[in-house]
Amino acid sequence: MTNVINEMPWSEFDKRRKETDLVIIPTGACEIYGTHLPMGSDAIAADGVARLVAEKCNALIAPCFPLADSSMLLAYPGTLTITPKLFEMYIEELMAQLYDYGFRKFLFITGHAASNSTIMYVARKYQEQKGCKWAQVDWWRFVQPLGKGIFDTEGRMCHGHAAEAGTSVILYFRPDLVDMSKATKIEPNVVNYPDIMTFVPMQDKTPSATVGDATLGTAEKGKAVVEAAVARICSFLKDEWAVDIKA
C-alpha cells in the first residue's frame, strides 16, 4: 500500500487523511550531479527517505516537487531551474491545501540546500498563524554526522557535490541510474576565508560537477546511512510530536 498521495485513489486518500495529521513533503532539484549520477538525484534521495519514514509512522507523502532554484548551475546543460519566488508560491499553496485537508504536522525532506530558507519562511507562518508543527531535514547536511564510521572519507571529499555520500545514497535508491565507470575524484578548492561568504561558480571548482571522491560510493554505505537517518527522523517524530512509530 502506497503512502504517496498522488499514487492513491481519492477515496483512499479521503480515508487515510482522517487517520493522520502528519504529511511529509519531499523536494528536490534537476541539476548536474557529476558525470555518473542522474540530474534528479536530490529528488530521488528526498522521495526515497520520505517513503521509508512514512512506512514507520503511517504518514502521507505529498508528490515530490522535482525543481528548485538551481540557477548557480546553469552553465551545465540539462539544469532546470525556477525562481525562489515561484518555489515559495508552490510551498505556500501546497501547505494551504494540505492544511484544509486536515494536516497539522508538516515534515519537509529537502534535497536541495537552496530551498531551505524558503521552506522555513513559509512554514514559520503556518506555525505562528495557525499553530501547526513543522520540521525540516536538510538532507545532505543531515547525513554528515551520521556518516561517521560508514564512509571512508570525511568533509567535502565525502559530502561534497556528488561525492562519496551522494553517490552511495543514489546507488542504494536507484542503482539503475548510476554509471560508476564515470565516477571521478576531484579535490575541493582551498577556501582561505571560510568565515566570509562568497560565490564561486561550480564550473570554476570542477570539470565534472563532482567535488570530492565519488569513486568510493557503494550501495551498502548508502543503505547504512539512510537507515541511520530514518531512525533519527523517527526518533524526533516520536519524542517531539508523539507520533506512533512501528517497530
Domain boundaries, the chain: 5-241
C-alpha cell recorded at residue 88:
515559495
C-alpha cell recorded at residue 180:
560508476
Burial class of residue 247 (count of CB atoms within 10 Å of its CB; 0-12, 13-18, 19+):
exposed
pLDDT at residue 33, as a whole number: 94
In tens, the pLDDT along 26-35 reads 999 999 999 9
The residues, any chain, with a CB within 8 Å of residue 115's CB and separated by 6 or more, are 27, 29, 68, 69, 87
pLDDT at residue 44, as a whole number: 98
Q: What is the largest CA-CA distance in the chain?
A: 58
3-state secondary structure of 1: coil
Report whether pLDDT(191) > 80.
Answer: no
Q: Which amino acid belongs to residue 244?
A: D
pLDDT (mean) for 78-86: 96
In tens, the pLDDT along 83-119 reads 999 999 999 999 999 999 999 999 999 999 999 999 9
- How many Å apart are CA 101 and CA 109, to the nearest integer? 20
Contact between 182 and 134 (Cβ < 8 Å): no
Burial class of residue 241 (count of CB atoms within 10 Å of its CB; 0-12, 13-18, 19+):
middle
pTM equals: 0.95
CATH number of 5-241: 3.40.50.10310
Distances (CA, A) of 163 to 49, 175, 197, 203, 213: 19, 15, 23, 16, 5
Confidence bin at 204 (pLDDT 50/70/90): confident
Helix (H) / strand (E) element for 126: namely: helix 116-130
